Structure 1
């Protein structure tokens, strides 16, 4: 059953009302008043059953999820900071200052699973609606980046050692008596496999890697042989991943880079400081003038950039239409998207030297100079939001993390705009006061 926050209008002798404690002109208070919480509750209400124990109120958990993405907090730290921050409590709909934890941080996991990709796209649309010009903007910019996964740097020896350890755990869990566990042997072999590029260690490291993979296959075959057929069915997919990790070679396609995150891909973006990144490709669609993100789409594997256009623009259309907007008419891209000129009525613009007149050349030059603004936007998404390193599990975690980063970016942009408006208003007040003060002084002197 959906829980709701009921406004408490009665005074409490032992609690402080937040409206008396905080500054009602604070940017976060103004942002909370701009967000349509009623629409959010109406959208998510159908995801909850009619009976049973009341859930956490939508405004409370959704508001804390938005705060988490705006200020780049983890599930645990956002709950800790919420207790200390009166403005955060007002943002989530509290009437009185609270001194206890609102709920366990693990509830964020259940809430993200419950609303799914569709619910997060709705939240992205709500963040776009805070910028009225963004939903009808004709021209957008698009670029791709890598959302890195929180995994160790993959090597053959590490993967083989992990397979051996996991097989030993499975044997202990299912009561299988192994001929040998290889715990001590595999640990020493992993040490021997380190620094294999050094000429003096090259031969020893190569033999250690080979031996680790041999032991991994041996332990895996023993488990397949000794486990009952009824139990073996539950481990078929796990053993398939283990075998692929042990047998893959340098030129194997769709390689396994992590046993617990097999969907991770190795992506080379041509960076001098980081030749390879391990994660998933993400396409970001940003308004040219407003700078608001209307789509941030995750793709499996490492597709060519041009293959990401159709789905990214479709998501942008869904998000913008959910708040009464339109589909973008033009998309400015870099040369990585070459090969496609039109996607369902949207024109794809590439930097070329084929413009006929000098005026057209100047317009194109200005357009693609402006397109470079998406690069710092992606940098902000990675450094100031959650796109830099994804801690959420599985394919759903990749999708959710990317969308949440875009939501946090749009909300933070609106928060900064409110701050600028307040500063501008204060400057005007100060100038008006100074003008009146100077005028009165001149009048007295006269």
Structure 2
């Protein structure tokens, strides 16, 4: 945002060729201007500096801007969206928030644009999307797709039937092993009991799970384990088609919901839809023989009924034809 870190808009300010200065177009006798000059926003900045620090989440807006917008929100009785819309049109509101230039766009978009302009190749927290700033670049380690943009997701499926019993989104692209504890806790809460064994890939080495569940990390040295355990290791690859189905058929690959809450809800919706479709397919397979048997019986009954009906009509027609032929022959020989 272009309003900088100065607490008073009446200091030395550098002009902009395309943006007019607010101090040149507002009236100094206006009540909002007098109120802005009377409020000491430095005290708010000192008191809220810990909540708006650089290391606490993504880069925040200036403290004076957030405090002033909250005051305008509760003083006018508007919603967040209405306050931002009014802020774009009201010069005195922008002056009250310690703005320097007259802004034509949302301050959040201006901040994201400045962040995108100043980011470097070596930065860790890069901005990949203006509308979804929480999007991360996730390394896949595969030849056909090295990276993906989005939010990391953890899935837990049953060993034999592939029901999804745990699904959770992890913003910030954490290490895979650090997600194992929370996703197993979710699976335990859903199942009602703790799993006996959890089979994971090599990404879960050095996990943070502590409990009674036996964590098996699948590696390449399968000749050193027993045949039974090796069979369970081979069963681990069954989670891959579940992930593909969730992405291609249940909208996990393209989230239409906004924000981090939208990412978490989208994962839950995709997992629930996968289980529901699996349940409907099981019901269809179970009832298919009964419906097929009933349908065949109905077809046989209809065929028998119409065959009897058409048979009687054809017999009547044949009898009438024979009578007519007899009369015709009788008359011919007369």
TM class by shorter-chain length?
A: 0.5 to 0.7
Q: Given the alignment, which residue of 252, 261, 273 partners 1:408?
A: 273
Identify the structure with bigger relative contact order (alpha carbons < 8 Å, sequence gap 6+): 1
Q: Does residue 422 of the first structure (1) align with residue 287 of the second (2)?
A: yes
Which structure has the larger Rg over C-alpha atoms? 2
Q: Given the alignment, which residue of 181, 187, 200 partners 1:333?
A: 200
Q: Given the alignment, which residue of 186, 191, 209 partners 1:315?
A: 186
**Aligned-residue offset at 1:340:** 3.1
Deviations 1:6-25 (A, max 9, x none): xxxxxxxxxxxxxxxxxxxx
**Aligned-residue offset at 1:238:** 5.1
Query: Contact 2:134/2:172 (CA < 8 Å) preserved in 1?
Result: yes
Q: Given the alignment, which residue of 214, 220, 233 partners 1:347?
A: 214
**Aligned-residue offset at 1:243:** 2.6
The 1:236/1:284 distance shift into structure 2, 3 A limit, reads: same
**Aligned-residue offset at 1:242:** 3.0
The 1:350/1:424 distance shift into structure 2, 3 A limit, reads: farther
Residues 152-301 of structure 1 correspond to what in structure 2 (within 5 A)?
179-180=17-18, 227-230=94-97, 232=99, 239-301=110-172
Query: Contact 1:341/1:347 (CA < 8 Å) preserved in 2?
Result: no
**Aligned-residue offset at 1:389:** 0.6
**Aligned-residue offset at 1:317:** 1.9
Tell me the SS of whatever aligns to 2:97.
helix
What is the distance in 2 between the residues matched to 1:355 and 1:380? 28
Tell me the SS of whatever aligns to 1:388.
coil
Query: Contact 2:181/2:209 (CA < 8 Å) preserved in 1?
Result: no
Structure 1: unaligned runs, 5 residues or longer: 1-162, 165-176, 182-222, 434-446
What is the distance in 1 between the residues matched to 2:149 and 2:130? 13
What is the distance in 1 between the residues matched to 2:213 and 2:110? 45
TM, length-normalised to structure 2: 0.55
Deviations 1:108-127 (A, max 9, x none): xxxxxxxxxxxxxxxxxxxx
Query: Contact 2:180/2:209 (CA < 8 Å) preserved in 1?
Result: no
Number of matched pairs: 210
**Aligned-residue offset at 1:237:** 5.7
Tell me the SS of whatever aligns to 2:151.
strand
Query: Contact 1:340/1:348 (CA < 8 Å) preserved in 2?
Result: no
Which residue of the partner structure matches residue 31 of structure 1? none
Query: Contact 2:196/2:214 (CA < 8 Å) preserved in 1?
Result: yes
**Aligned-residue offset at 1:348:** 0.8
The 1:391/1:431 distance shift into structure 2, 3 A limit, reads: closer
What is the distance in 2 between the residues matched to 1:401 and 1:315? 16
Structural RMSD (CA)? 3.5
TM, length-normalised to structure 1: 0.42
Structure 2: unaligned runs, 5 residues or longer: 3-14, 20-87, 299-334
The 1:385/1:231 distance shift into structure 2, 3 A limit, reads: farther
The 1:391/1:330 distance shift into structure 2, 3 A limit, reads: same
Query: Contact 2:157/2:166 (CA < 8 Å) preserved in 1?
Result: yes
Query: Contact 2:152/2:171 (CA < 8 Å) preserved in 1?
Result: yes
Tell me the SS of whatever aligns to 2:226.
helix
What is the distance in 2 between the residues matched to 1:299 and 1:254? 15
**Aligned-residue offset at 1:265:** 0.4
Which residue of the partner structure matches residue 8 of structure 2? none
